[in-house]
């Protein structure tokens, strides 16, 4: 079993999009899937399933669907990039190159984990508010994060992707996903071509957390 400090794993869990085609050993896959099962869900309902797609033809089909969507998405994304100040623009450009690579090679990942969810098994407490609902995802994405952290600990590259959710009908037909199950993420998994996971760029605690009320700065000793 791989050993790694939890903070080290979290702070180096960057998107890894260049993956070797080498198979992932079953025992390793089992461990990272078990990590997903440990995640909390509303009422402990565990309203998610993961389809571990290993069959070459199905991966190729998923890859082709992803490539189509990525072409459309990346064009719009690139158009906005020019307005960004440096060095953020250069960083985004680098990320986009890696994302382009995934766009062309998603189907070559030895494993694509398709995360499914059942809205009927969720208490979606914000479904009647006048804005897009997010609460349902809270019973799915903690499992996804556990899976990603498991991959990180095992030295496997991975990245959470959601573009394929745009073509849920085709993915559901390809994988035999029944009603009312939907798709929440597609995670290519494999050993990294380069260094794999590593340093990440994120906003600070001061920017993202407040004390007692919205906007009130929080100052905590960080010893």
Nearer to ligand FMN, 41 or 95 (CB): 95
CB of 26 to ligand FMN, least distance (A): 26
Torsion sign, CA atoms 109, 30, 191, 154? positive
Residues written for the chain: 223
CB of 160 to ligand FMN, least distance (A): 5
CB of 51 to ligand FMN, least distance (A): 17
Alpha helices in the chain (DSSP H): 6-11, 26-37, 56-81, 88-105, 141-154, 168-175, 205-208
Q: CA–CA distance from 28 to each of 24, 112, 117, 161, 183 (Å)?
A: 7, 15, 24, 21, 24
Q: Which DSSP state fits 24?
A: P
Nearer to ligand FMN, 43 or 198 (CB): 198
Residue ranges binding ligand FMN (CB under 6 A): 14-15, 17, 95, 99, 102, 159-163, 200-201
Asked if 32 contacts 154 with a C-beta cutoff of 8 angstroms, the reply is yes
Nearer to ligand FMN, 83 or 216 (CB): 83
Nearer to ligand FMN, 56 or 91 (CB): 91
CB of 92 to ligand FMN, least distance (A): 8
């Amino acid at each position: 079993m791989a050993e790694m400090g939890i903070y080290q794993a979290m702070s180096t869990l960057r998107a890894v999009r260049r993956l070797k085609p080498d198979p992932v050993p079953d025992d390793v896959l089992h461990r990272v899937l078990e990590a997903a099962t440990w995640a909390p869900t509303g009422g402990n309902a565990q309203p998610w399933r993961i389809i571990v797609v290993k069959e070459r033809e199905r991966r190729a089909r998923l890859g082709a669907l992803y490539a189509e969507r990525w072409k459309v998405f990346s064009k719009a994304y690139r158009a906005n990039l020019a307005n960004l100040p440096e060095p953020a623009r250069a960083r985004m450009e680098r990320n986009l190159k890696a994302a382009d690579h995934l766009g062309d090679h998603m189907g070559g990942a030895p494993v694509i984990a398709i995360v499914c969810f059942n809205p009927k098994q969720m208490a979606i407490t914000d479904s009647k508010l006048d804005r897009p609902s997010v609460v349902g995802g809270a019973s799915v994405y903690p499992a996804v994060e556990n899976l990603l952290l498991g991959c990180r600990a095992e030295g496997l590259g991975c990245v959470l992707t959601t573009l394929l959710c745009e073509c849920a009908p085709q993915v559901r037909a390809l994988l035999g996903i029944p009603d009312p199950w939907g798709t929440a993420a597609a995670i290519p998994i494999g050993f990294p071509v380069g260094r794999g996971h590593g340093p990440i760029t994120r906003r600070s605690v001061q920017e993202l957390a407040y004390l007692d009320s919205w906007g009130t700065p929080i100052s905590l000793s960080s010893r």
